Copies of this chain bind each other. A is one copy, B any other.
């Protein structure tokens, strides 16, 4: 029976609650309850709510962006890269389905954090983006894909992967899916989205 150190019990609980509710709607009381302890203990280990939140935000921010950028970085051929991106995004986010909504919510409210934490992680979107745009334009010139702006393609890929998670409650309700049906739908999407994109850009033979 290895008991986790209280610090990480707190952080794990805080992660769940903050991710579900966002900073503003989160009550420290709820974090404490989720961690099975008294509210005062949070303050014993961490100065205040904001301090805990910042730690969580950094963690989740990294989870959200790190994997994505790793794939941008690899120099596979375009189609392979897209396949990896789609598969990676849908797979990893499936295990943290409310991560995108959390990031979007908090970044929308404090856009300056995007720059701050982006630098902290050493992310440089400009470089990745330029590299990707170059790759796309090369394919276009080679006549393998129809003309498309690299950035529009990136936006399309991200949209197709992320939105179904962000809109999970709406999709579940409108399509009357329970948790497992929703999961199956996402599983099918790995193939569906990849093929959708390839057909969308490939020049017909």
Residues of A131-169 at the interface with B, using a CB-CB cut-off of 8 Å, are 146, 148-149, 151-152, 155-156, 158-160, 162-164, 166-169
Residues A101 and B111 in contact, CB atoms below 8 Å apart: no
A2-10, A33-41, A49-57, A193-201 - the one binding chain B: A193-201
Residues A129 and B175 in contact, CB atoms below 8 Å apart: yes
Given contacts A22-B22, A155-B171, A200-B199, contact A166 B104 (CB under 8 A): yes
Q: How far is the CA of A21 from the CA of B170 in the complex (A)?
A: 20
A36 to chain B, nearest CB (A): 24
Question: In this complex, what residue of B is CB-closest to A164?
Answer: B155
Residues B114 and A173 in contact, CB atoms below 8 Å apart: yes
Question: In this complex, what residue of B is CB-closest to A126?
Answer: B176
Give every chain B residue within 8 A of A164 (Cβ-Cβ): 155, 159
Residues B151 and A185 in contact, CB atoms below 8 Å apart: yes
Not counting A114-B173, A156-B193, A160-B160, a sample of 13 additional A-B residue pairs whose C-beta atoms are within 8 angstroms of each other reads A22-B22, A22-B25, A24-B24, A24-B25, A108-B169, A111-B169, A125-B173, A148-B196, A149-B192, A156-B196, A163-B166, A196-B201, A199-B200
Residues A167 and B158 in contact, CB atoms below 8 Å apart: yes
Given contacts A160-B159, A163-B162, A189-B152, contact A105 B115 (CB under 8 A): no
Q: Which residues of A contact B (CB under 8 A)?
A: 21-25, 98, 101, 103-105, 107-109, 111, 114-115, 118, 125-126, 129, 146, 148-149, 151-152, 155-156, 158-160, 162-164, 166-176, 185, 188-189, 192-193, 196-197, 199-201, 204-205
CB contact between A22 and one of B24, B126, B185 (< 8 Å): that residue? B24
CB contact between A152 and one of B109, B118, B148, B188 (< 8 Å): that residue? B188
Q: How far is the CA of A18 from the CA of B194 in the complex (A)?
A: 37
Residues A174 and B104 in contact, CB atoms below 8 Å apart: no
Residues B171 and A163 in contact, CB atoms below 8 Å apart: no
Q: How far is the CA of A107 from the CA of B105 in the complex (A)?
A: 13
